[in-house]
Structure formats: C-alpha cells, structure tokens
Amino acid sequence: MFAVTDQAFVTLGTNDVYCQGALVLEQSLRAHKTSRQLAILITPDVSSGYRTVLHAVFDEVVEVNMLDSKDTAHLALMKRPELGVTFTKLHCWTLTQYRKCVFLDADSLVLCNIDELFDREELSAAPDAGWPDCFNTGMFVFRPSLQTYSMLLQFAEEHGSFDGGDQGLLNSYFSSWATQDISKHLSFLYNLSSNATYTYLPAFRQFGSEAKVIHFLGAVKPWQYKYNPQTGAARWEGGEPPGPHCMEFINLWWQIYSSEVVPLLVQHKVAEEIGIKQHMQNLSIGLLLLSEQKAAPPAAPCPKEVDTSEAPIDNDEQQSSEVRAIVSDHLLEPVYTVFCKCVLLFNNLLAGLAASISELSVEDTSEEAYGAKERQNWEEGHIDYMGKDAFENIQKKLDRFLQ
Ligand SMILES: O=c1ccn([C@@H]2O[C@H](COP(=O)(O)OP(=O)(O)O[C@H]3O[C@H](CO)[C@@H](O)[C@H](O)[C@H]3O)[C@@H](O)[C@H]2O)c(=O)[nH]1
Ligand SMILES: [Mn+2]
C-alpha cells in the first residue's frame, strides 16, 4: 500500500487511561488499512511503560506540555472539571512535519477506512449533537501551522473558551464553520456520538449502519465498564447507571481492547499498571488455564503447579537467570527462592492474562506503589528487599491481584 508520509491522523493522551483509548483507536485505524501516518501527542504524565507501547504502534509519539484552560466556571457549567486539559489539543497545530492532519479524540474508534477525510480543508468537522451549529472537536481536519497555533493561544488568552474546553475555543475561532462552506460541514457519520440511539432512535435505525467513526463523548467512557471476554459483553457496575451509550459500540470497543490492546500491554509488560483484574475461583484454576494456553503467543511459559520446594526455577531461561542473579547476589537462597518463585508466578500470571481472564476492567493505578518508577528500579536491579519489595509486600500484591 502506498504510504502518505506528510499526512497524519493525530490523537491525544495526557495520561495512561486515555492512552488506552488511543491504543484502541490506533488499532481500529490500522485494521481499516489507513495509508496515513498515526501520531499521538502525550504529556509528561504518561508512564514510561505506556510510552514504550505507544512508540511500538504509532508512527510518531510527540511529547508536549500540558495546556490547561483552568476555566473552572465554564467547565462547571458542563459538569466536566477535568476538561481544561483538552487545551493541550491545540498543540496539534505545531505538527508542521505534516501538511494536513485529521484529529481524533482518544475516546473514538473508526469502523471503516476514512482516509477520504484528507480531501477536505481546514477546518472541516461534524456537527455537535448537543448544539448542531457548533462542530464537535472529537474529529476535525486541520493544517498544522505555527502561525495558527500562536493565534489560537492568543485568542484563548483574550477570549477564553465559552465551555472551558477546546471545543468552545475552536468554535469561536473557526466561527464561520456553521454558515460559510458546506464542504467543511462533515457528515455526523464521521463523529457519531455513541448515545445517538437514545437522542434520535429512528434516525439511528435509518442511518446508523453507515457510521464511520464512533465517539464515546460524555463523562462516562467505555473503559469505565466491566467486560466479560467469554460473552463479549460489557456491563455497568456499581451505582447509578451512566448516561446512555449504545452497548453495541461499548462491546466493540472492549472486543478491540481485549483482543488487540491487552496482548500489546502484556508483551510490553505494562499490564499490571492498568490494574487488569482477574476473578478466578482460586489459584490452581488460574494456573490450569494458563498452562492450557501455554503454546499460544504472546503468553509467556507458565508454571504447571505452585511448588514452593527448592527445585530449580527453569520455566523461563531469561527470567530464571535474572532470578538466580538476585539470589546469588544476596546469598539468602531459601528465602529468596520462594520470593523469586512468587515474582515469577506474578509475571507469568500477567503474561497469561490475554487469554485467561474472565473479566477485564481498566483502572488508573499509576499512583500505586508498583508504579513506573518502581518498575524501572526493579529492572535496573535496585530492589528494596527489606522495604517495599519485601516478600510480604509481594505476597500482598499477589493476593490483591488474585482477588
Ligand atoms: O484527562 C484527559 C482528558 C482528555 N484528554 C484528551 O482530550 C480528548 C477530549 O476529552 P473527552 O473526555 O473525550 O471529551 P468529550 O467527552 O468528547 O467532550 C467534548 O468536549 C471536549 C472539551 O471541549 C472536547 O475536547 C471533545 O472533543 C468534545 O467531544 C480525549 O478524547 C483525549 O484525547 C486526555 O488526554 N486526558
Ligand atoms: Mn471525546
């Protein structure tokens, strides 16, 4: 396929949670064989583990500073205090290595090839379902330009944003969108809000099958649901049911997440950061499941049984040599053999997750003790045997993980 190098789809992830949305989006664009580059803007909060995964799948990962509107009054009107950071989206105009781009929110996914969008001009976008004289900024065609970028910042400083987020600002700046040029007025099918079934069901029945991009806009995102890979169905758990979303699309998001994104996270050893939980009846059932899918990549070799005797650990050459190095360094063989087996077991459980999980959920546990920094220390051999990496703490982690 002919690759177009001066045009790109661009998305934004300011933290690990939104980056998971970005990974689903990326997989959906690749699945529909885009010929354009895939770029993501990230901010310093994205962990090193996630950066590795993003670098592996996006053509370009660009780190930018966090821009924040800090406009709490307007954001409060929208009941979305977190959206000030969406000003960071404005950085997309700095990507001048590309001639033309299509921005897509990280909470969207594509259902077919949408490369024809690159035939459109700045600023092309689809109407917002809440106020159709405004465009929704979950998807728009733009031309990177440092001049436009600085004019946008200046405009933001002088006028602010009527909703506190990027959407209010961009609609004020590109204010002729609603009336001037119908070719910049894109079909709603390019940015279909996932609750359209509820707001206008007959129209959804008539046209929904032609949808090209699904956008999970609103306070509740697909990753806040729980998913059962056996049934392929997501469900809402705990408390008030969220605003309406079409479950068919939520299920689709989760199907892509579990079949395409989880294996990537496992392969790059970042699965533990997102708190994928498995609900197994007990450890032996879990191990049985793991050993059954031993041959299936990308799962790592798995221990057949839990054995805390002093037999050598031989199920993964690289891991066991690392483990032996730790053991011989500290000459505390009996204690650390058990300790290392637990670590191995923990790693193997994570590695086997993709196929063995009975339920998935995504949580931002980046603040937890086993964060990116700790993992880096671990990888570099700085292990706090007496403190947070002590055997009982690893045991606690295992217990939590297997709850
Ligand atoms: O903490 C955050 C919040 C947002 N984003 C990015 O910004 C986008 C917009 O935020 P989102 O939560 O998707 O907003 P929406 O619920 O879609 O709300 C609407 O309002 C936002 C603020 O004006 C616009 O950015 C959206 O395009 C518009 O659909 C996300 O998709 C991400 O790409 C982050 O990376 N981190
Ligand atoms: Mn969005």
Which residues have CB less than 5 Å away from ligand 2 (the ion)? 105, 107, 138, 217
For atom 22 of ligand 1, which residue has the closest CA? 165
- pLDDT recorded at residue 345: 53
Q: CA–CA separation, 190 vs 5, rounded Å?
A: 23
- The residue among 276, 252, 391 whose CA lies nearest residue 330 is 391
Give CA–CA dist 360/258, Å, rounded. Answer: 8
Residue type, 305: E
Q: What is the number of alpha carbons within 13 Å of residue 135 lying toward its C-beta?
A: 29
What is the length of the chain? 403
Q: Angle at which helices 372-379 and 48-57 pack, to 10 degrees?
A: 80
> How many whole angstroms from 246 Cα to the centroid of ligand 2?
15
Give percent of the chain with pLDDT exceeding 70: 66
**Å from CA of 272 to ligand 2 middle:** 26
What is the CB < 6 Å shell around ligand 1?
A: 11-15, 18, 82-83, 85-86, 89, 105-107, 136-138, 163, 165-167, 217-218
Looking at the predicted structure, is the pLDDT value of residue 324 above 80? no
Neighbours of 314 (CB within 10 A): 10
Q: What is the CATH number that goes with domain 4-267?
A: 3.90.550.10
Virtual torsion, Cα 245, 248, 249, 252, nearest 10 deg: 140
pLDDT over 90 for what percent of the chain? Answer: 45
Express each pLDDT in 178-211 by its tens digit: 999 999 999 999 999 988 777 788 888 899 899 9
- The domains of the chain are located at 4-267, 276-402
Atom of ligand 1 nearest to the CA of 86: 7
Cα distance between residue 40 and residue 38, in whole Å:
7
Query: In terms of pLDDT, which residue wins out, 373 or 23?
Result: 23
Judge if ipTM > 0.90.
Answer: yes
CA distance 49 to 135: 35
